[in-house]
Amino acid sequence: MTNRVSKGSLFPYCLWILLFVIAPIALIVYYSLLDLEGKFTLSNYQSFFSPAYIKMTFTSFWYAFLITFFTLVISYPTAYLLTKTKHKHLWLMLIIIPSWINLLLKTYAFIGIFGLYGPINAVVEVFGIEPKQILFTDFSFIFVSVYIFIPFMIIPIFNSLDKLNPTLIYAARDLGASSFTTFRRVVFPLTIDGVKSGIQVTFIPALSLFMITRLIAGNQVITLGTAIEQQFLVSQNWGMGSTIAVFLIIIMIIIMLVTGQRKGGRA
Amino acid sequence: MKKLSAASKIYLIIVFIILYAPIFYLIFYSFNSGGSMNNFESFTLEHYKAVFEDSRLIVILINTVIVALLSGLISTIIGTLGAIGIVSIKDAKMRNILLSLNNVLIVSPDVVIGASFLILFTMIGVKLGFTSVLVSHIAFSIPIVVLMVLPKLLEMNKSLIDAARDLGATKRDVLTRVILPYIQPGIFAGFFLALTYSLDDFAVTFFVTGNGFSTLSVEIYSMARTGISLTINALSGLIFLITVLVVIGYYFVANRAKRVSEEVQR
């Protein structure tokens, strides 16, 4: 009945898919096969598999892993405790507000906080330790990234915990499970979907963030994202940049498959 | 339910302090008459004055808001129509393909989106600047609108449409008087999210903006790269204030929309 109207309404949407979803990916793949003069070549892939790039990929992975790990370790208990508070949605709102503040501003704040004369060093000095440069270290990079991702990790975990039927917990407790066993065997498995989407929204951006590495880590930390930005906007080597982007896309697909929610797993 | 133990309360308080400390730190030093972020000399509003006197910054601010509003509006229209279209597709396989394609831009790292859009715009000859930034923002906001509207459409009772048709409503009536009012909360949520996506975006804009055009994020980045400037602090104070007001506003709108839709359903 409404089919004609509906099909017509799909037109701009499909045009969008074609132009901004399919075409860009195709272009990235196409450019990854071009050298600086625009001739077809596989040399970009060859240089990607050189030790320097392999090492960069692994360090990028390692940082992303650490960032995701610490974010999860801090966020899960927070989300868990939030669901136990009285006005939980108000508290969740308060967690979300900082995520609305521009990313750049939050990162910029840490330039001051971690600076040589910043508050952290002032506190350290009270304990008689020499102040030292915290900025431009991998610690500062990981700390700021974790700080940025915490709200994004809390939201999905909070939602899945919130949906959890509390009678399941009572049942487990009645059947003699300790609170730790209840958590390990009941609560955590039932909220794993939230954890997975939290990991998705943390790990992939953690691989590709380049402004935090530039502002906070100086040029100490090079992630895949920094490398792409470097190739595209500094070296103007779009071919190499696209090759790294292709690998980032492949990694992303793998992560999506690993953390993807199976449909119909839980009624 | 059990009351929270003291330890858990302390844990939550620490998390909240860590989340808010950097923001308040920024705002605190925006009132510093000294030039740095570590030595509070005396209270001043000169940095706020500097923000309003810097005409370049004001232009950038206006640009950012215009791009956000326009991209929010256009992506909401395309996304809502798209969602309505997706729901009407009978073929489950086709529907799933569209939905997966829809999610590509949501999960793609923004560096990749930025780089690929840069290639795209260069190839089809779009001049980098306002147009390329606006189009990119529309492009990455559409999928989020679809995701916000889709659940509302799916929970809608199909007999509502049939009833309207039986009572003689035209297709246009069905769309404007039945479907749109019903999915309105989803549309609003989509619009607000599109706005925040646009306001918050840095990486994509950074790639596709030319020399002459800049948004707030890009400007803050280039200012921050040259070092500390308390003008940025004053700016963040203003942004924080606006954000809190918008959140409160959104909260009320969402609540009212909920109440209205409940009344309609009654």
User: Are both B233 and B152 inside the same structural domain?
Assistant: no
Q: Which of B11, B14, B19 to mutate to test the interface with A (most CBs of A within 10 A)?
A: B19
Q: Which of A102, A231, A250 to mutate to test the interface with B (most CBs of B within 10 A)?
A: A102
* This prediction's pTM: 0.86
User: Are both B166 and B214 inside the same structural domain?
Assistant: yes
pLDDT, tens only, A143-194: 999 999 999 999 999 999 988 888 988 898 899 888 888 888 888 898 998 9
> If pLDDT is split at 50, 70 and 90, which confidence band does A210 have?
confident
> If pLDDT is split at 50, 70 and 90, which confidence band does A265 have?
very low
Q: Do B120 and A101 touch (CB under 8 A)?
A: no
Among A67-81, A88-102, A171-185, A196-210, top mean pLDDT goes to A67-81
Residues of chain B with pLDDT under 70: 1-3, 257-258, 260-266
pLDDT for A266 equals 35
Residue B158 contacts residue B132 (beta carbons within 8 Å)? no
User: Are both B42 and B173 inside the same structural domain?
Assistant: no
Question: B258 to chain A: which residues are within 8 Å by CB?
Answer: none
- What range defines the domain where residue B44 resides? 23-50+229-266
pLDDT for B2 equals 54
Number of domains, chain B: 2
Q: Do B26 and A109 touch (CB under 8 A)?
A: yes
Q: Do A248 and B111 touch (CB under 8 A)?
A: yes
The DSSP line for B64-107 is HHHHHHHHHHHHHHHHHHHHHHHHH---HHHHHHHHHHHHHHHH
**pLDDT higher than 60, residue A3:** no
pLDDT for A264 equals 37
**pLDDT higher than 50, residue A76:** yes
DSSP collapsed to 3 states, B18-32: HHHHHHHHHHHHCCE
Angle (CA) B35-B41-B44 rounded to 5° is 75
Q: Do A102 and B199 touch (CB under 8 A)?
A: yes
Domains observed in chain A:
24-259 (1.10.3720.10)
pLDDT, tens only, B6-60: 888 999 999 999 999 999 998 998 898 877 777 788 888 888 998 889 888 899 9
Question: B26 to chain A: which residues are within 8 Å by CB?
Answer: 105, 108-109, 112
- Average per-residue pLDDT in chain A? 86
Question: A232 to chain B: which residues are within 8 Å by CB?
Answer: 115, 118, 207
Residue B130 contacts residue B61 (beta carbons within 8 Å)? no
> If pLDDT is split at 50, 70 and 90, which confidence band does A10 have?
confident
Decide: helix, strand or coil at residue A137: coil
Q: Do B200 and A252 touch (CB under 8 A)?
A: no
Q: Which residues 209-238 on chain A approach chain B with CB closer than 8 angstroms?
A: 210-211, 214-215, 224-225, 228-229, 232-233, 238
User: Are both B66 and B36 inside the same structural domain?
Assistant: no
Q: Tell me the CATH number at B133.
A: 1.10.3720.10
User: Are both B139 and B242 inside the same structural domain?
Assistant: no
